[in-house]
């Protein structure tokens, strides 16, 4: 109700009536009176050549009218609204035409459908072809930032006012700048996996399982792709275990997944030294791995870590 009252107020104070013949290139869209009617129902429609004016139908005749200062026509709501506000759908939908006007140089306009992108009338970015997916003047915020329709700049996603009609992307590969537009490019899903529907914290890399790589998520957004550190017990690079959800040594990774995890098959309960390293041992029947550390070997007889004599 408040929005409707605001629109009515803006329309009342902002519209300046100017009677003008309809241009031959702007067909009359006014409903015509039917037999017995003195006038057709009220009807308004947008001027296809600019945002600051519109047509009002008067007994079937189109009359050109102008919105007031700093206001433009919104054809959805049939009223004049503040220029380049979130209600200014005309400028958003006709960016290329409006950016061509000299007085609009430097203007930043929100993309009408995607919250992470906007148009900079002073920028010559964008073009055509697979290697440039953006429209002319179109710019994209850095993931995961988005373009605020009130502040007219890219801000942190959690502080962004996107409006009600613009899509909010959480997946980094929905940002055009992150996609592959050239040959010899690692696919985005491999470089920047999605955290959508994942909890906060560390998770397996979906395309690099049983490797040192893992991802860090927050608020369903990717914050970082990390690599496990070197395991201090063995001086080998650690591997991220999807089952343990942690970086572990090779001796805690199943052999079918490229690791060196020992098996207790055919062994009696007890402790055994691994075949690959003398300072790594395991207990049966659980096959739990332990480390002597500092290169000190495990003595199977004494079942202790003892320096070599």
Are the C-beta atoms of 217 and 194 separated by less than 8 Å? no
Minimum mean pLDDT among 85-94, 134-143, 269-278: which range?
85-94
Residue 22, Cβ density class (10 Å: 0-12 exposed, 13-18 middle, ≥19 buried): middle
80 falls within a domain: no
44 falls within a domain: no
Task: Looking at the structure, tell me whether residues 232 and 169 fall in a common domain.
Answer: no
Q: Give the start-end residues of each E strand in 22-96.
A: 44-46, 53-58, 61-66, 71-74, 79-82
pLDDT tens figures, 181-210: 878 889 999 999 999 999 999 999 999 999
Determine the pLDDT at residue 307.
Answer: 87
Are the C-beta atoms of 215 and 226 separated by less than 8 Å? yes
Determine the pLDDT at residue 32.
Answer: 78
Look up the domain containing 286 and give its range: 262-308
**pLDDT for 24 beyond 60:** no
Domain boundary among 156, 185, 214: 185
Higher-pLDDT residue of 5 and 183 is 183
85 falls within a domain: no
24 falls within a domain: no
Transcribe 78-146 into DSSP letters.
Answer: TEEEETTSTT-HHHHHTHHHHHTSGGGTT-EEE-SSBTTEEEETT-----SSTT--SPTTEEEPPTT-E
The 8-class DSSP code of residue 195 comes to -
Q: What percent of the chain has pLDDT over 90?
A: 55
CA 246 – CA 232 distance, rounded (Å): 15
Mean pLDDT confidence for 62-75: 91
- For strand 201-204 and strand 213-218, is the pairing parallel, antiparallel, or unpaired? antiparallel
Minimum mean pLDDT among 24-33, 54-63, 157-166, 235-244: which range?
24-33
Mean pLDDT confidence for 82-108: 85
**pLDDT for 22 beyond 80:** no
Determine the pLDDT at residue 29.
Answer: 82
CA 156 – CA 218 distance, rounded (Å): 13
Closest CA to 188 of 175, 201, 198: 175
38 falls within a domain: no
Specify the number of domains making up the chain.
3
**Can you say how many angstroms the Cα of residue 127 is from the centroid of all Cα atoms in its chain?**
21
Task: State the pTM of this model.
Answer: 0.73
């Amino acid at each position: 109700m408040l929005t409707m009252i605001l629109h009515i107020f803006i329309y009342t104070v902002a519209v300046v009536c100017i009677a003008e013949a309809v241009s031959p290139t702007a067909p009359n869209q006014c409903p015509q009176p039917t037999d017995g009617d003195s006038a057709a129902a009220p009807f308004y429609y947008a001027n296809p050549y600019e945002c600051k004016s519109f047509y009002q139908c008067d007994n079937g005749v189109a009359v050109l009218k102008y919105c007031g200062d700093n206001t433009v026509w919104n054809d959805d709501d049939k009223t004049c609204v503040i220029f380049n506000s979130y209600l200014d759908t005309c400028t958003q939908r006709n960016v290329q035409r409006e950016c061509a006007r000299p007085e609009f140089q430097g203007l930043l306009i929100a993309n009408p459908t995607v919250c992470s992108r906007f148009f900079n009338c002073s920028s010559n970015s964008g073009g055509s072809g697979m290697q440039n997916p953006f429209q002319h003047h179109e710019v994209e915020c850095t993931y995961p930032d988005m373009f605020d329709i009130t502040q007219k700049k890219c801000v942190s996603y959690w502080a962004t006012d996107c409006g009600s009609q613009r899509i909010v992307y959480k997946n980094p590969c929905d940002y055009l700048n992150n996609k592959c537009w050239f040959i010899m490019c690692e696919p985005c899903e491999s470089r920047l996996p999605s955290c959508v529907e994942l909890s906060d914290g560390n998770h397996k890399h979906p395309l690099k399982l049983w490797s040192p790589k893992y991802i860090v998520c927050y608020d369903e957004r990717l914050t970082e792709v990390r690599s496990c550190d070197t395991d201090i017990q063995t001086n080998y690079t650690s591997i991220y275990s999807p089952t343990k959800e942690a970086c572990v040594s090779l001796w805690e990774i199943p052999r079918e997944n490229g690791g060196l995890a020992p098996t207790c098959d055919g062994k009696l309960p007890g402790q055994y030294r691994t075949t690959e390293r003398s300072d790594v041992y395991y207990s049966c029947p659980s096959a739990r791995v332990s480390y002597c550390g500092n290169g000190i070997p495990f003595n199977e007889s004494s079942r202790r870590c003892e320096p070599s004599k």
